[in-house]
Structure 1
Amino acid sequence: MVSERGLQVLRAIVQDYVDTHEPVGSRSIVDRHSFGVSAATIRNDMALLEDEELIAQPHTSSGRVPTDKGYRVFVDHLAELRPLSSAQRAAITAFLGDPADLDELLARTVRLLTQLTGQVALVQYPSFSRANVTHVQLVPLDPHRLLVIIVTDTGRVSQRITILPQPLDEAGVAAVGARLIPRLTGRSVAEAAEQLSLARTAASVHLTPAEAALHAVAVAASEELDEFRQNRLMMAGSATLAKREQDFRGSIHPLLEAIEEQVTLLRLMSEMVADGQGLSASIGRENAAFGLAEASIVASEYDSAVGAARIGLMGPTRMDYPRNLAAVRAVARYLTRLLDEDEGRR
């Protein structure tokens, strides 16, 4: 059983190790922190922490460093979020203001978080499967190409060029639109996708130019709606991993692979358990099932018109958890406010 002072010693070790990247000894704790006890007493506290596997000695005669379990105790019970400075808050407001669309807003968000923290920044796209299709337009570019435009009530606009199997004049395009557009508008993205599946099946058995065009347009629209429903990540700051490679006990290649594939990170972020403030952390070996035992991820939830999603940071276990958690929370709150205001203008 670790005493209250022992837990405060753990806090000091975590903070000093993050700040200095050097194992922490009892003498440095006495010098840097006001415990009012001798170095020998601190050594006894450290021995108990080591027995509980909260700290470890990396080398003989060296100080101690936190273990993954120690970081977990620190995050759950000892970390005090550091409020962002007024300059940092002003930077959030300035950097995220007046984006052209959701893609630009999320791209700015991850760039900002990387600049604020020096970690890899991740943000989930909200799922648009519950959004409603409000507008569909077919724009002929030439007899062989159509631009398919789909708009939802969340403001997301999708555009895709479709190659027609046979040339189609404007009257033919209008005929295809008359058959297809009523099936989509006013429906949820999921329902519209089902209608497109029916349209593709019906059109595939006919050979007229109009039916062939209907099938081609339905295929293109289906692909777009599938993207609406996919869970995706926007990321920035991958280069910071190379700069921090010495902070990882092993190779950073699994992290780079996870960034490349996205699926692993999406699963991990989706399974992280949030506290009452919507904050969550997954530390070191807790990520072993995802092949990311060398990394920690901290995240915060943000809300959009179509549901909640997460924004987070990935880096080494030796990270400044209070600062990073405060950063993702502040940016998530501002992101929620921006999306609420945008929804209110619709």
Structure 2
Amino acid sequence: MGISTPASDTLVSFRGVQKSYDGESLIVKHLDLDIRRGEFLTMLGPSGSGKTTCLMMLAGFETPTHGEIRLDGQLLNNVPPHKRNIGMVFQNYALFPHMTVAENLAYPLTIRKMNKSEIAERVKKALGMVKLDALAHRYPGQMSGGQQQRVALARALVFEPQLVLMDEPLGALDKQLREHMQLEIKHIHENLGITVVYVTHDQGEALTMSDRVAVFKDGVIQQIDAANVLYEAPVNSFVANFIGENNTLHGEVVDVAGQHCAVRLASGEVVKASAICVGRNGEPTSMSIRPERVRLNQLAEACENRLKAKLAEFIYFGDHVRLRLDVAGQSGFMVKVPVGELDSSWKTGDMLDVGWMARDIRALDSAIVSH
């Protein structure tokens, strides 16, 4: 699956790209992908899905077994990494420990043979961008992980590349710092208008930062879309389960009419759903519904689908509570309830009415996916 954009709008294009390390199994299978000028594109997927291999082929550290990669129209296949004018940020920072921060930033400019005054000016500007002006003369070993990551980011931007690649750059940071850096990287991207290709297995990070997200599985892009589209309209059960929290109900298709279908659950109830990728009558399907789309008790009365559920567990999250329910003979069905809407009389073992609209439940392929 690929997305085509007008040539002038495209900075990077993969065409028919394959990668195999042993000549037999393909880590990347026939990838067609256009990356737009100025966009923040995230490659997201589990370990071994091919996302990092794609990034490494773009950087020049790996060579495609088959197909073409172009940057601004130029074929990259045989261009060495240092001649690609691409900035790179790695998870392990890859800073030179014997150089100060300023020397680390000057290094890519020195090898591009810039003059001293321009180097000094660019280093100053890059340090200002990541708010490290005061630390120019420190060595990496004297800095925290978050500060080192900022230096690595500044070094990738200092020579003003048209493309910056980031491979799990925040993976080593603690949660609070990681969330802070996500916003900072996003703001730098917006201010500079550069193109960023970002690799992560953290779906929250992908949703927060990206213009578009490409979800990889087994060397194939399953879906590429804006974050809200991936979340609200996954095209298959893998994407539904990989992006955000998801409830899955299994059943068999009993009727398909236009954009809707009716699905019979194992317990006998019939649910009306949006028909996204369903087969003929009698075929199995997995239906996906987000926890915040489910309504309870009185609120369930206005919904097209209504079922009985048994309350199995309360899980407290501060601003909301998650209820784990048994629905239609399946356990682990989650509903999010804002704290202010929680009924204080509910207790485990209670029977509740649950409901949702047909448009909010998507009948997908029958794959049984575990996280």
Band the TM-score falls in, shorter-chain normalisation? under 0.3
User: Normalised by the size of structure 1, how large is the TM-score?
Assistant: 0.23
Name the structure where strand makes up a greater proportion of residues.
Answer: 2
Relative to the length of structure 2, the TM-score reads 0.21
* Greater per-residue helix proportion: 1
